[in-house]
A and B are shown apart, each in its own frame.
Chain A
Amino acid sequence: MAGSGNSEVKLLGAWASPYVARARIALNLKEVQYEFLEEQFGTKSELLLKSNPIYKKIPVLIHDDKPICESLIIVQYIDEVWVSSGPALMPADAYDRALHRFWAVYIDDKFVPSLFGMMRAPTEEAKAESKEQALASLQLLEEAFGKISKGKPFFGGDTIGYLDVALGAFVGWMKAFEEMNGFKLLDDAKTPLLCAWAENFCNNEVVGAVIPETAKLVELAKVMQARFKSAPPAN
């Protein structure tokens, strides 16, 4: 049932979510026509609650009425279903696949919490700690890039791959945090490979259409920060 012309594809998401961006980038790379159903900030639609009853979170890909949840699982699904459309996102070699998966999990478990930790931190101390962790994570990712890319522009080699999508979806938010906090996360001196990579990634047509403008993210971040500070954390 892969790639049938009339299959119906919907994506439940939100413009600012980097997890949703992963799914959108993958769909775009595979030239899949889909309907983007925007969830309103602060509310969850019936369709979302029905499609993802366990976590009630976006993104959710709905393919011929069947839901797929969790952004990294969605990206692998897209890669496997629309297999004849565009280059594969996952590497061909099993060991390389394991490396891409390892670093994608690392990004989710270590890098992303420290990145958003800077915004949510209740004290200056906590904020500084998050910043340290974010920078340390990027240093490790810089080394990983050196080994995995083997001199090519992307983690996936000549073309954008699974790990590029996993990390690249966060570039918009990284730029927003750089602007808000007045320091560089990606630094020509410390992470030159990732700097070049980020530029190559964002210059890709289908990616550029998905990553939100820095100014809009900064604006949203300020709204969210005010919410965190004024009320006890909602879910």
Chain B
Amino acid sequence: MASEKGVMLLDFWVSPFGQRARIALAEKGVEYEYKEENLRDKSELLLKSNPIHKKIPVLIHDGKPICESLIIVQYIDETWSDKAPLLPSDPYQRAQARFWADFVDKKVFECGGKLWKLKGEEQEAAKKEMIEILQILEAQLGDKKYFGGDIFGFVDVAFVPFTSWFYSYETCANFSVEEVAPKIVQWAKRCMERESVEKTLPDPKRVYEFVCYLKKRFGIE
């Protein structure tokens, strides 16, 4: 298999997981080719590059595929290590960063999905869960500029894509992120001042349109 030199990202515009990779690449100033996948008709390249999960994002570097968004972000951080370090150098701080990025992975997306998929009591339960998750993250952020302290880091990259879903969560489940986790909202605004984030994250209203489209497709409401 001839390995093509360069960096390619197989992705889907609204995916928060893909956005993690895009933000990391932008922070590092890496030039890459972006390929939008049609998830209802996946390309040969995607199926060949991620045969196990058949999911985006997939980063292809000099012909070699890397899968799973947080693994991709670590790979980007380690490969383009001369600029914008995402993981701290201290092992304990690194362990904390990995823990909280993993927490975001385990909790936010799935709970967020419940907010627009479910109704009634089940949705209420999911809303309570999401509020708890946001407040735990807010406690972790504290008064720091970023989760990484002064440095925009691994946990920031892991979590910030979900901020463009806040509007959808709020609208579907009837609550306000600003009310329950004001520091998170301030943090999100600070992140949006970074070019990498501002250029990557979609307009929350577009995300909401996508959620409405999904609801129709799955026959919800």
List the A residue with the shortest CB-CB distance to B98. A73
Q: CB within 8 Å of B: which residues of A?
A: 2, 54, 63, 66, 68-70, 73-74, 76-77, 80-81, 94-95, 97-98, 101-102, 105-106, 140
Contact B91 A2 (CB under 8 A): yes
Q: In the bound complex, what is the Cα–Cα distance between A225 and B92 (angstroms)?
A: 38
Q: In the bound complex, what is the Cα–Cα distance between A81 and B90 (angstroms)?
A: 9
Q: In the bound complex, what is the Cα–Cα distance between A80 and B103 (angstroms)?
A: 21
Given contacts A70-B102, A101-B71, A102-B71, contact A95 B95 (CB under 8 A): no
| Residues of chain A lying within 8 A (CB to CB) of residue B64 | 95
List the B residue with the shortest CB-CB distance to A137. B52
Q: In the bound complex, what is the Cα–Cα distance between A76 and B98 (angstroms)?
A: 10
List the B residue with the shortest CB-CB distance to A66. B92
Q: In the bound complex, what is the Cα–Cα distance between A81 and B91 (angstroms)?
A: 6
Q: Out of A68, A95, A101, A105, name the residue touching B92 (CB < 8 Å).
A: A68
List the A residue with the shortest CB-CB distance to B66. A98
List the A residue with the shortest CB-CB distance to B79. A94
Q: How far apart are B157's CB and chain A's nearest CB, in angstroms?
A: 16
| Residues of chain A lying within 8 A (CB to CB) of residue B103 | 54
Contact B66 A68 (CB under 8 A): no
Contact A98 B99 (CB under 8 A): no
Number of B positions contacting A (CB below 8 A):
21
Q: CB within 8 Å of A: which residues of B?
A: 52, 61, 64, 66-68, 71-72, 74-75, 78-79, 91-92, 94-95, 98-99, 102-103, 136
| Residues of chain A lying within 8 A (CB to CB) of residue B66 | 95, 98, 102
Q: In the bound complex, what is the Cα–Cα distance between A105 and B103 (angstroms)?
A: 14
Interface of A is mostly: helix
Q: In the bound complex, what is the Cα–Cα distance between A139 and B103 (angstroms)?
A: 29
Of all A-B residue pairs in the complex, the 7 with the closest CB atoms, nearest first, are: A80-B91, A94-B78, A77-B95, A98-B75, A68-B95, A98-B66, A101-B71
Q: In the bound complex, what is the Cα–Cα distance between A83 and B150 (angstroms)?
A: 27
Contact B136 A105 (CB under 8 A): no
Contact A102 B67 (CB under 8 A): yes
Q: In the bound complex, what is the Cα–Cα distance between A116 and B75 (angstroms)?
A: 31
Contact B75 A80 (CB under 8 A): no
Q: How far apart are B54's CB and chain A's nearest CB, in angstroms?
A: 13
Contact B102 A102 (CB under 8 A): no
Q: In the bound complex, what is the Cα–Cα distance between A112 and B192 (angstroms)?
A: 39
Q: In the bound complex, what is the Cα–Cα distance between A101 and B102 (angstroms)?
A: 13
Contact A63 B74 (CB under 8 A): no
Q: In the bound complex, what is the Cα–Cα distance between A97 and B68 (angstroms)?
A: 13
List the A residue with the shortest CB-CB distance to B80. A94
